[in-house]
Every structure is written in structure tokens, then in C-alpha cells.
């Protein structure tokens, strides 16, 4: 028995991806629940999976063999054994340390396991760093969906300790789940039928819905074909419409100049712009890079908070009283120029206010605010380390083009024990 799935390319030429080059419009009549950290997220998503009757689709960047990973494994195995179709798509880098035994148990139970661009280690080091499957999506029975920044690992729980991550996701019920389901199916290589509004259009749906009312949700995503800038453009468009407040909480912050300028311009118009970024970074380079931008933003009135209680992993934002976004995309070169990402845009006043209150509590109680007139670093530091970090981050996406050709793909998982049987 070959425990595997078919070889599926996810970066095909555009003329071969008509069914996957999709624009999803705004859907009304949805219920959106904010889930903060693993304490809120895992019980909700695990209970939905336990209640699954037909299908579970799961994409994640990281799955660890810890208490969260083992609980997920048990739930998926039990679901598959009772006849639920379970498709799990894992990133070959983020999940590169999973043991063959762990994956083999899933596959042996009937779970379809797919690894995105796995690669063997070179001198004990994983080298498949770029163009990762960074999305975090779960869809159950095409009736409830989850999307955000939370991986399936114990470091999203407070009892993990000082390194536990601060993060966000949402649970969605309503018409928008059909789009999440359709997208997850298409990205896993399954044949999907299109319906009106799901094929590529001459003019894409606006990042700011013209419809009135609450419960509006739109799925947006980033790939390396026709949707390279969709998430970044959504941020730019929303900020251009900001009138009184904008709050961005993002773990890795080093956006392109257009987005950076729109943040600055909003502050110049009198919008109260707040950025919440890592003060206790899990990647030191990310913190150094973000600080290269502080002076540019502070001088025009942007308020910058550094979250210091534990590592910030969130990717959320809100503008004014209605517009919000939650998803997997950071605002750095990896997410904006290389990785496969997915966010939802939300027009809902109650959700917006709830997210605002959570972020305000974070900024007021667990952050240090960078002074507007902070003392610049020594000129020698800026001329050497600062210069190097800034330009490496700025030109990072282009630099990766010098590397050997890299073709992201979903690849069969084959249990080691099966190779000897074939």
C-alpha cells in the first residue's frame, strides 16, 4: 500500500490554473468570532472537528508533536475512521521535524497527508526556506471555517511559558465559508466547480465593500502567480480610506514603501494610527529591521508600541469602526513577496470594536510606547549594522531570485515502512 497523495503542482503556468486563479467577493450574512490565542482557538476548532460528519480540510505552516499536535492527530484519526474525508496539507519546512511514525499513523487511518515542498537536510540543516505554505485554514463540513495566524503547536498556549505566542484567529459561519471551502479544495489539488463570481475578473472586488450592514466577509490570498499583491493592496486601500483610527498589530513588520507611505499619510491626515510590534522578538533580525522604520513613522505622528510580555505572532488590523482583517500574512518581505498566505477582510462594527478593545488592552497594559523624540542610535551603528539590515530586508525578495529554481509543490508523503513493501 502506498500511503501517499498524487504529485500536485501549485505554481503552474497561468494557462493551466484557470480553476484556481480566483477572486472571492464580499459575502454578507456571516457570523465572525474573534479567537485570541490557543486557549480560545484550539477548543473551538477541535470541537468542530469532533462533530464533523463529511469532511475536514486543514492547512497549516507548523504542526509539532507536542500536546496540541497529538490531540489534533487523535481527532483526525478518529474522524477518518468514522468515514469523514480528512485532507491535511502541511508545509515541508514548518513541519519538517515531524516523524515518519506520526505522519504514518495519520495516513494509515485514511487521512490524506500532503507535504508542501519537502526537502531533505543538507549537512543537517533544512534549506527549503522560501515560498512557504504559510496559510492556517480549517474548514469542517463546508459549514464552519477557521482562519488566522495560529499554528497547531503548544507554544500558542499560555502555560508554554515566557515564549508562548500572542496571536489571533477567527471562526466564521455563514455564506463566506463556501468561499473558504472552495479555496481550500482548489489549493489541495482537488477538482472544484466554479460558480458565478469565483473566476478571475477584469476588475477585482474592492478591499472596502460598498454594501452596508454588518457580517460582511471577503477571502483574499497571496500566491506567486496572479495574486502576488492582493493582501498588501487591501491594507493600502483600507488605510487610504481611514478617517479617525487605524491599528495594526503585526509580528514581522517591514512593508514595501507604498504601504509604509500610506500609514504615514493617514497619520498626516489626523488619523490616530497605532502600530503594535514585537518587543520580545523570536527573530532578532525582524526587530532590528522594524526599528529602521521608526523615525520615518514617528515624525508624522504614528504611535508605535512594542509588545513585551511575550512574542507577538498576530497578523491583524482594523480601520475606523467597521473594517478589520485577520489572517496569516505578516507585513514583511517573506509574507508580502514569497509565501502563500490567506486573510479575511471583515466589515462588522461589533467585531471591529471587540478587536479594538483587545488591542488597546494589549498596548496599554503589556507594551512600551516608543517616544516620539527618541534618541537616535549612534551614527556608527546606523552606518554599519543599520545600513546592512535595512538593505538586506529591502532587497530580500529580489536576492532570493539568485537562488536555484524553486518550484513549490504538494508532494506525496510515503511512510518509510512502505518503501520496503513496494
Residue range 354-382: mean pLDDT, rounded? 82
Say if 379 falls within a structural domain: yes
The Cα–Cα gap between 279 and 305 comes to 8
The confidence score (pLDDT) of residue 124 equals: 56
Please confirm, yes or no, whether 141 is among the known catalytic residues: yes
For the chain, helix (H) and strand (E) counts, in that order, are: 14, 17
Query: Is the pLDDT assigned to residue 3 strictly greater than 60?
Result: no
Strand pairing category for 315-319 and 323-327: antiparallel
pLDDT score for 384: 52
Q: Which of 11, 21, 66, 141 is catalytic?
A: 141
What is the average per-residue pLDDT within 371-399? 56
| Backbone dihedral region for residue 301 (phi beyond 0: left; psi -120 to 50: alpha; all else: beta) | left
Asked if the structure places residue 179 within a domain, the reply is no
Here the CATH number for the domain that contains residue 248 is 3.30.870.10
Q: Is the pLDDT of residue 418 over 70?
A: no
Indicate whether 132 pLDDT > 60: yes
List the single range of 152-166, 217-231, 379-393 with lowest mean pLDDT: 379-393
Average pLDDT on 270-289 reads: 84
Please confirm, yes or no, whether 91 is among the known catalytic residues. Answer: no
pLDDT top residue among 249 and 198: 249
Q: Which pLDDT does position 203 carry in this prediction?
A: 57
Is pLDDT of 122 > 70?
no
The closest of 305, 307, 253 to 280, measured between CA atoms, is 307
Residue 66 per-residue DSSP state: S
Share the mean pLDDT of the chain: 83
Nearest Cα to 328, choosing from 143, 138, 200?
Answer: 138
Among 66, 282, 320, 321, the active-site one is 320
3-state secondary structure at position 242: coil
Among 13-22, 57-66, 217-226, 365-374, name the most confident range: 57-66
* Average confidence (pLDDT) over 256-263: 90
Instruction: Tell me what the mean pLDDT of segment 256-267 comes to.
Output: 92
Cβ 390 vs Cβ 289: under 8 Å: yes
pLDDT band at 222 (very low <50, low <70, confident <90, very high): very high
- Cα dist from 202 to 22, 23, 323, 347, whole Å: 12, 10, 24, 24
Helix (H) or strand (E) holding 8: strand 8-9
Calculate mean pLDDT across residues 56-68. 97
Q: Categorise residue 194: left if φ over 0, alpha if ψ from -120 to 50, beta otherwise.
A: beta
- Position 232 in a domain: no
The pLDDT of residue 304:
96
Beta bridge partners, 139, equal 57, 145
The tally of domains found in the chain comes to 1
Instruction: Identify whether 21 is part of a domain.
Output: no
Return the C-alpha cell found at 418: 512502505
| pLDDT of the residue at 17 | 42
| For residues 146-168, average pLDDT | 96
Mark whether 295 is an active-site residue.
no
Lowest mean pLDDT among 105-114, 208-217, 371-380: 371-380
pTM value? 0.86
- Out of 165, 182, 227, 315, pick the active-site residue: 315
Looking at the domain assignment, is residue 315 inside a domain?
yes
- Bridge partners (DSSP) of residue 145 are 139, 172
Question: Residue 210 burial by CB count (10 A; 0-12/13-18/19+): exposed, middle or buried?
Answer: exposed
375 is catalytic: no
Q: Is residue 147 part of a domain?
A: no
Q: Is the pLDDT of residue 206 over 90?
A: no
Catalytic hit among 181, 227, 287, 313: 313
Q: Which of the two residues, 419 and 89, has the higher pLDDT score?
A: 89
Q: Which of 91, 136, 167, 332 is an active site residue?
A: 136
What pLDDT band is residue 415 in, cutting at 50, 70 and 90? Answer: low
Q: Active-site residue 313, yes or no?
A: yes
Q: Is the pLDDT of residue 151 over 50?
A: yes
Q: What is the pLDDT of residue 4?
A: 36
Average pLDDT, stretch 297-308?
94
Mean pLDDT, residues 25-50? 97
Decide if 23 is catalytic. no
State the pLDDT at residue 406.
46
Tell whether 302 is covered by a domain.
yes
Domain of residue 268: give its range: 239-326+349-397
Identify which has the larger pLDDT, 419 or 320. Answer: 320
- Mean pLDDT across the stretch 212-228? 90
Q: pLDDT at residue 68 above 70?
A: yes
For 127-271, list the strands marked E by DSSP: 137-140, 144-148, 168-173, 216-222, 245-250
**pLDDT computed for residue 21 by the predictor:** 61
Examine residue 307 and state whether it is found in any structural domain, yes or no: yes
State mean pLDDT over 261-266: 96
For residue 422, pLDDT over 80 is answered with no
pLDDT, greater one: 73 or 416? 73
Amino acid at each position: 500500500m502506498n500511503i501517499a497523495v498524487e504529485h500536485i503542482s501549485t505554481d503552474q503556468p497561468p494557462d493551466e490554473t484557470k480553476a484556481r486563479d480566483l477572486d472571492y467577493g464580499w459575502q454578507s450574512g456571516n457570523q465572525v468570532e474573534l479567537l485570541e490565542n490557543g486557549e480560545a482557538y484550539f477548543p473551538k476548532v477541535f470541537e468542530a472537528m469532533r462533530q464533523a460528519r463529511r469532511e475536514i480540510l486543514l492547512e497549516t505552516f507548523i504542526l509539532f508533536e507536542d500536546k496540541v499536535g497529538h490531540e489534533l492527530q487523535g481527532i483526525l484519526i478518529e474522524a477518518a475512521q468514522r468515514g469523514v474525508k480528512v485532507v491535511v496539507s502541511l508545509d515541508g519546512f514548518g513541519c519538517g521535524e515531524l516523524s515518519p511514525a506520526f505522519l504514518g499513523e495519520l495516513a494509515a487511518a485514511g487521512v490524506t497527508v500532503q507535504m508542501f515542498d519537502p526537502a531533505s537536510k543538507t549537512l543537517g540543516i533544512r534549506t527549503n526556506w522560501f515560498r512557504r505554505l504559510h496559510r492556517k485554514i480549517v474548514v469542517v463540513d463546508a459549514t464552519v471555517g477557521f482562519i488566522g495566524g495560529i499554528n497547531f503547536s503548544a507554544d500558542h498556549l499560555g502555560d508554554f511559558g515566557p515564549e508562548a505566542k500572542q496571536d489571533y484567529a477567527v471562526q466564521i459561519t455563514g455564506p463566506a465559508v463556501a468561499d473558504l471551502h472552495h479555496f481550500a479544495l482548489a489549493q489541495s489539488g482537488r477538482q472544484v466547480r466554479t460558480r458565478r463570481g469565483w473566476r478571475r475578473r477584469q476588475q477585482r472586488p474592492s478591499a472596502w465593500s460598498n454594501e452596508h450592514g454588518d457580517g460582511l466577509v471577503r477571502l483574499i490570498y497571496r500566491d506567486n502567480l496572479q495574486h502576488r499583491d492582493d493582501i498588501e493592496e487591501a491594507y493600502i486601500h483600507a488605510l487610504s480610506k481611514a478617517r479617525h483610527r487605524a491599528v495594526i498589530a503585526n509580528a514581522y513588520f517591514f512593508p514595501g514603501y507604498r504601504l509604509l507611505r500610506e500609514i504615514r499619510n493617514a497619520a498626516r491626515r489626523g488619523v490616530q494610527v497605532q502600530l503594535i510590534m514585537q518587543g520580545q522578538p523570536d527573530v532578532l533580525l525582524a526587530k532590528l529591521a522594524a526599528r529602521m522604520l521608526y523615525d520615518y513613522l514617528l515624525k508624522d505622528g504614528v504611535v508605535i508600541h512594542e509588545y513585551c510580555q511575550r512574542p507577538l505572532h498576530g497578523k491583524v488590523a482594523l480601520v475606523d469602526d467597521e473594517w478589520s482583517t485577520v489572517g496569516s500574512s505578516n507585513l514583511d518581505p517573506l509574507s508580502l513577496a514569497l509565501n502563500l498566505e490567506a486573510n479575511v477582510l471583515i466589515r462588522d462594527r461589533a467585531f471591529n470594536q471587540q478587536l479594538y478593545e483587545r488591542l488597546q488592552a494589549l498596548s496599554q497594559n503589556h507594551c512600551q510606547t516608543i517616544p516620539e523624540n527618541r534618541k537616535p542610535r549612534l551614527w556608527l551603528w546606523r552606518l554599519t549594522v543599520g545600513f546592512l539590515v535595512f538593505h538586506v530586508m529591502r532587497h530580500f525578495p529580489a536576492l532570493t531570485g539568485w537562488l536555484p529554481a524553486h518550484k513549490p509543490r504538494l508532494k506525496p508523503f510515503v511512510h518509510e515502512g512502505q518503501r520496503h513493501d513496494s
